[in-house]
Amino acid sequence: MLLRTLSLGAMLALAPALLAQTPEERGLAIAVEGDARDQGYVDSTANMKMILRNRAGKESVRNVRIKSLEVEGDGDKSLSIFDEPADVKGTTSLTWSHSDKPDEQWLYLPALKRVKRISSKNKSGPFMGSEFAFEDIGSQEVDKYTYKYLRDEEINSVPTFVVERYPTDKNSGYKKQVVWIEQDRYLALKIEFYDRKDSLLKTLEASDFTQYLDKFWRAAKLEMTNHQSGKSTTLEFSGYQFQTGLKSSDFSKNALKKQK
Amino acid sequence: MLERYAHWIVRFRWLALLISLLVVGALASGGRFLSLTNDYEVFFGESNPQLAAFKNLQDIYTKNDNALIMLEPKDGVVFSTETLQAITELTDAAWSTPYSTRVDSLSNFQYTYAEEDDLTVEDLIEDPASLSEEELSKIQDTAMAQPLLVNRLLSPAADVTGVNISFELPTENADKVPFEIMDYLDAVLADIESKYPNIETTRTGVVPMNKAFAESSMRDIKTLIPTAFAIILLGFMLLTRSFWGTVGALAVMLMSIAAAMGTAGWMGIVLTPPSANAPTLILTLAVADCVHYLVTFFQQLRSGKDKFSSIRESIRVNFNPIFLTSVTTAIGFLSMNFSDSPPFHDLGTITAIGVFYAFLLSIFFLPALTAVLPIKAPAVRSREKAGFMEKLANFSINYRKVLFPVVGLLIVGLIAMIPRNELNDEFVKYFDDSIEFRQDTDQIGEKLTGMYFVDYSLDSQIESGINTPEYLNQLEAFEQWLEEQPEVLHVNSVSETFRRLNKNMHGDDEAYYKLPEDKELAAQYLLLYEMSLPYGLDLNNQINIDKSATRLTATLRNLSTKDTLAFENRAQEWMTNNTPDLESAGSSPTIMFSHISKRNINSMLTGTVIALVLISLILLVSLRSVKYGLLSLIPNLVPAGMAFGIWAIFNGQVGLSVSVVIAMTLGIVVDDTIHFLSKYLRAKREQGLGTEAAIRYAFTTVGEALLITTIILTAGFMILAQSSFSLNADMGLMTAITICLALFIDFLFLPALLIWLDKGKQDDLTDGAVVPAT
């Protein structure tokens, strides 16, 4: 009886807050909070190991180094330098994410010694043959989606917010994504990707989070499973470094050729 | 023992009826688990190597399940604003098809070109409404120059075009999936056609075919089974002239079928076009049991006995013969379990079960039913038919010196024709012209592209090996060789993508329309290209994950099995001589179906031999003579041999189903032999008649019954021959021919053979090993 009164009281106390916010507003608020908590990392570098698996369980490995630069008031910039397989060693991609217009992207091909621009529309294709699309790996700007808060839920007894988000870019490969965001640290633990016909296509699970500089949380492992093709890809991150002194000029088209 | 059983049935007739209904009801309730399959893969056993190879290939790349929609503008112009609008609209709608993973069309073809120093990758057609005449013709020129489009999604005359949808079909609720997909597409296409009256659409592919399998089964169930019931009941009524007798037979047939199909449900059998026809077979085969029981019963009634003693006598007289013929028939059908193709296991098993139930029902349920029905002996028949039989006997005996060599030569001549049969399993032709899938597929085959293809997974065996010049050169050599083959309509290979990219990366210079000569260059082109591809149009369907192998698809014209195998053998030989590093077997449904008849014949050989040995042993025991047991092999085997000879003359195409006919008919035609020889031997042994007199006795006692059962069986199988599914139709026709020939041999050849064998002997009871009666 006491318990019931208490919970009723708690509900009454919360009610005005709940009423004041539509599910859309609440979803957006969660996204904004998550984004805010990652502000100020300045720059970072890391090694990414990509393990591709086909339906029969056969594996293939790729190695990429990643450098990111925080940009005030716009999307982040990033460089991906391919180390393996050997025949694409030295190939480097540069991405400028934007919050208000399509991302820009270039690729440097060492065999041709040329920089090539990549069509801005085609960011939903697979990244290096993996189950990750460019748009899954790229910087997750708040403005790239609209949001809708669904419910609270526990994953492995960790309380999360479940938020649906809808890509604003018409060239996105997805109709929607459902994101499980840890309430405590505002980290996306799990994302379900629904294809254009609104069928579940892939599930991403993030784990092994480590905190850097007492603030920034990064997952050491991302596991993407494609439910339709039976294929999967694991990303393993290591050697995270923050505030290494990277400059904006390191993320220019001209700098692409100089990457090693 | 039998006497006591017969008494029990009559005394506890109501209990017997109740037990029958309860047991049949319980068995039949399994029918709720029955479903119709619609997956062509069911024709292949788990261990089928061609299926395993194809599944393996699909595991490495992507699944091949597809639906191909052909758009045909009535004015014959694909590159018009209206048609391009229709293509774009259909392409967009197709992405929302349930379970679809990819859509390929003229509009979303990823056109690549150099723009200053950049590689541009974009849809070939965007916003068609805004295109000028000049732009339309430029797009047409571009499209017609794409080897990946022409003969695949675009006809060489640019008068029809295709939209191909690829699927990952779920395994749950698999029987509903093709309907769900096709319902969606039908609605989309109806919408397109009403919006663009100039456009006509047709569709083919694996998904429409899978739906056609289910539809074909449904159609057989809805049309053939009721027809079979109607014709056989009418025949039964005419022949027995007994209303209540026909009601009894109908009850036995219905209950046998219900119980057998229900048992199939309990066993978890999923119906396929062949096994969906088990009811027709059970119905046809159950008739004979009822005929035997009722004929004796009426004879007894007419001879003045009361109903109950007539029933008892009929049980006594018929129990063993019905049991024996049911066992041999069941053995014949069970031997179909040796087939390489699971649907025929099911057809054989369900029919054998049905035959067994029919036996039980006709000696348990039918006597009890006749005991409670107001059944009377029908009016005595005229003696005409018996007179006819006597005439026939005299004919066979008197003209034996002519019949023996003439029929003998006919037999040898027809059997000599057997090798002229050609194995052919063109799965599209399994469906006859009345099925929409067949019409559409033929039309698309004529105007756009073929339904048959062969996939090759060409493996370099090393990671990233596909980027090496050595690999690419061999791939291109094979691609070019294939393109020169008359059987090949289209080749889809990544070598074309590499050539195109090399050109694009050199400012669209035609001189560079060739393979990159450097491994790093090839790898980096590919990486750039892959990164430039939009959602769903990636290369995962052509390149494996570690880039060690690629899939090359050769689309073929409509080819017979023989030509397909000849093509594949030539391809293998060419690879051994020219591209030994990439040698790999072709794999596809076409290849699977091309091997299935041969595999099936080989596997059925074992089944047929086992059935033959078992059935011959049963004959030996029942005839109590090794000599006549061995002699019976001639009337048992020769009819099927002759039927294959006739088939060679009039058809000449032997498919999957015809290869199970020998074993299946063996169990049926053996019944004629049992009846004829046992009467012949009884006359010799019990009445001490001479050979000719014994033959006359056999003719007059069982001749009519044999004629009637042959007519009924032929009618039943001829109904099956009307199926729109050629595997069923061919099996029905072939079986009907075999059954008629069996009677022909029994009536016109066997007497001459017996006279020749037993020449001068009045009594042969002393020769051979006599097996005591059991």
pLDDT attached to residue A75 = 81
For residue B539, give the DSSP letter. S
CA distances from B625 to B37, B313, B674, B762 (A): 47, 27, 12, 16
Evaluate if residue B174 carries a pLDDT over 80.
Answer: no
Binned at pLDDT 50, 70 and 90, residue A19 comes out as low
Give the pLDDT confidence score for residue B601 in this predicted structure: 83
- The verdict on a CB contact (< 8 Å) between B521 and A112 is yes
Write the pLDDT tens digit of every residue in B159-173. 999 999 999 888 777
Return the domain boundaries, chain A: 8-258
| Helix or strand run (H / E) with residue B110 | strand B110-115
| Closest CA–CA distance from residue A221 to any residue of chain B (Å) | 20
The side-by-side arrangement of strands in the sheet containing B452-459 is B452-459, B549-556, B488-492
Q: Do A125 and B531 touch (CB under 8 A)?
A: yes
CB A135 within 8 A of CB A120: no
> Is the CB of A247 inside 8 Å of chain B's CB atoms?
no
Q: What does the pLDDT read at residue B757? A: 84
The mean predicted confidence, pLDDT, of chain B is 87
How far apart, in whole angstroms, are the C-alpha atoms of residue A233 and residue A129? Answer: 10
In the numeric block, which tokens belong to residue B185?
A: 């597409």
Alpha-carbon separation of residue B262 from B213, B227, B274 (angstroms): 22, 21, 17
What ranges in chain A are assigned the alpha helix state H? 2-20, 23-37, 134-137, 253-256
pLDDT given at position A120: 62
For A232-248, write each residue's pLDDT tens digit: 999 999 988 888 888 88
Out of B95, B168, B519, closest to residue A197 by CB: B95
Give the chain B residue whose CA is nearest to the CA of A134: B531
Whether A82 and B527 lie within 8 Å, measured CB to CB: yes
Instruction: Search chain B and give the residue with CA nearest A122.
Output: B534
B647 falls in which pLDDT band (50, 70, 90)? very high
Nearest to B271 by CA among B766, B761, B728, B748: B728
Testing the interface with A: which of B99, B545, B548, B551 to mutate, by most A Cβ within 10 A?
Answer: B545
pLDDT of A9 strictly over 80:
no
Residues of chain A numbered 78-137 and touching chain B (CB < 8 Å):
82, 85-88, 91, 93, 105, 107, 109-112, 114, 116-119, 121-122, 124-129, 133-134
Task: Count interface pairs A-B at CB distance under 8 A.
Answer: 136
Q: Specify the amino acid at residue A75.
A: G
Instruction: Yes or no: say if A241 and A41 are a contact pair by the CB < 8 Å rule.
Output: no
The predicted pLDDT at position A123 comes to: 64
pLDDT at B657: 79
A207 vs B758, which has greater pLDDT? A207
User: Shortest CB distance from B532 goes to which of A58, A122, A228?
Assistant: A122
Question: Is the pLDDT score of B760 beyond 70?
Answer: no
CB contact under 8 A, B101 and A229: yes
List the one residue out of B354, B360, B327 whose CA is nearest residue B666: B327
Torsions phi, psi for A105 (to 5 deg): -150, 140
First to last CA, chain B: 13
Please provide residue B143's backbone torsions phi and psi, each rounded to the nearest 5 degrees: -65, -45
Query: Considering only residues 198 to 237 of chain A, which have any Cβ-Cβ distance to chain B shorter than 8 Å?
Result: 199, 228-231
Close Cβ partners of B179 (under 8 Å, ≥ 6 residues apart): B211, B214
Please report the pLDDT score of residue B671 as a whole number: 86
% of chain B with per-residue pLDDT over 90: 32
Contact B545 A88 (CB under 8 A): no
Does the interface ipTM go beyond 0.90? no
Of B100, B119, B540, the CB nearest to A126: B540
Q: What residues contact B559, with CB distance under 8 A and at least 6 apart?
A: B426, B452, B487, B567, B590
Model confidence pLDDT, tens digit, residues B554-593: 999 888 888 999 999 999 999 999 988 888 888 998 899 8
Reported as a pLDDT band with limits 50, 70 and 90, residue B291 is confident
State the Cα–Cα distance between residues B293 and B308, nearest whole angstrom. Answer: 14
DSSP string, B116-170: TTEEEEEES---GGG--HHHHHHHHHHHHT-TTTBTTTB-TTSS-EEEEEEE---
* Distance (Å) from the alpha carbon of A124 to chain B's nearest alpha carbon: 5
Q: Per residue in B541-559, pLDDT tens?
A: 888 888 889 999 999 988 8
Phi-psi label, residue B286: left if phi above 0, alpha if psi -120 to 50, beta otherwise: alpha
pLDDT band at A5 (very low <50, low <70, confident <90, very high): very low
Which of A93, A126, A228 has its CB closest to that of B538? A126
What pLDDT, in 10s, does the model give residues B304-333?
888 888 898 888 888 888 898 899 999 989
pLDDT in tens, A105-152: 888 888 888 888 887 666 677 788 888 887 887 777 788 888 988 888
Domain A8-258 CATH class label: mainly beta
Q: CA angle, corner B642, sides to B640 and B644, nearest 5?
A: 70
Amino acid at B530: E
